[in-house]
Amino acid sequence: MAISSDAHRPLHQFYYYYFIFMIYCLLCFTVTMIGASNNRNKVSALYVFGDSTVDPGNNNYIRTAFKSNFEPYGRDFANQVPTGRFTNGKLGTDFIVSYLGLKEFLPPYLDPNLTNQELITGVSFASAGSGYDPLTPTLSELLREGARKLGVVGLPPMGCLPIMITFNSNNALLERGCVDMFSSVARNHNLILQNQLNFMQLNSSMSTGAKIYYVDIYEPLSNMIHGLDDNNGGFDEVDSGCCGSGYIEAAFLCNRASHLCSDASKYVFWDSIHPTEKAYYNMYLASRHVIDILVNA
């Protein structure tokens, strides 16, 4: 999306278009590949492709503005280390590899200190701001490379992201409800995605025996925001992030100078775009039945 260079355009409009671009880069679909084996755990490796929601620090090693390897990111991670994850602690993929018994955290592929053991048990290739790749060619390539169990994640309710509310509310301070115009785009996208995955499943199962499953994060995140989640556990803030004002901060705008909430577990969002560790954990719990189906398929 082009950003106007008109000097007379209000600054808030510049930020609006900048963050719209950023959101569509950061919230593109993610693909998870689970490699099966005959070992006791039934899974030998987990490989992840996607955006900032599953980037554990690949962007630390490339030239980009989309970084989070600085405080306050990682405030609740082990030893309070800012690893490059766009949250206060673990990502959903960290909970998955731990559940599968592979390792405690899923490392970034670009980490120069990766061991061979880390590589063969799984890494994340995800990169924040990586943009959108056509689905069918991407999955087809993974299948050609030997992937046999894939989970494809849909979009979240984008109209409920704090930054989307801020730039689209009639009163960003007092009217903090979800903007359904954007959430409806995500719902339509997810329906189309599911249909496409079902079609690909029919074709691939006959030729390769691959299993392709859709992983829903829209409903779990929406339920947390609207207080309908069984694992809610008491989210007090659902329309603003823990970092800064919670309305616009993300990436470099969420930094050491930003005010922070005292308890991120009371927030659905860490910054104005990305969920907290607790929200990621709840989404992982909501998708665990799909993980089990993939493992046992």
Q: Active-site positions?
A: 52, 271, 274
Q: Which residues make Cβ contacts (< 8 Å) with residue 20, sequence separation at least 6?
A: 1, 167
- Strands 30-36 vs 149-153: parallel, antiparallel or unpaired: antiparallel
Please name every residue paired with 48 in a beta bridge, in sequence order, or none if there are none.
Answer: 32, 124
Secondary structure string (H, E, C) spanning 205-257? HHHCCCEEEEECCHHHHHHHHCCCCCCCCCCCEEEEECECCCCCCCHHHCCCC
How far is it, in rounded angstroms, from Cα 4 to Cα 13? 9
Paired tokens of 139: 């999955």
Residue 28's Cβ-side half-sphere holds a number of Cα atoms within 13 Å equal to: 20
Please name every residue paired with 43 in a beta bridge, in sequence order, or none if there are none.
Answer: 36
CB 154 within 8 A of CB 218: yes
Residue of 148, 43, 138, 56 whose CA lies nearest to 93: 56
Instruction: Determine the straight-line distance between the first and last CA of the chain, rounded to whole angstroms.
Output: 41
Please name every residue paired with 267 in a beta bridge, in sequence order, or none if there are none.
Answer: 237
Backbone dihedral angles phi then psi of residue 30, each to the nearest 5 degrees: -120, 150
Three-state secondary-structure class, residue 46: strand
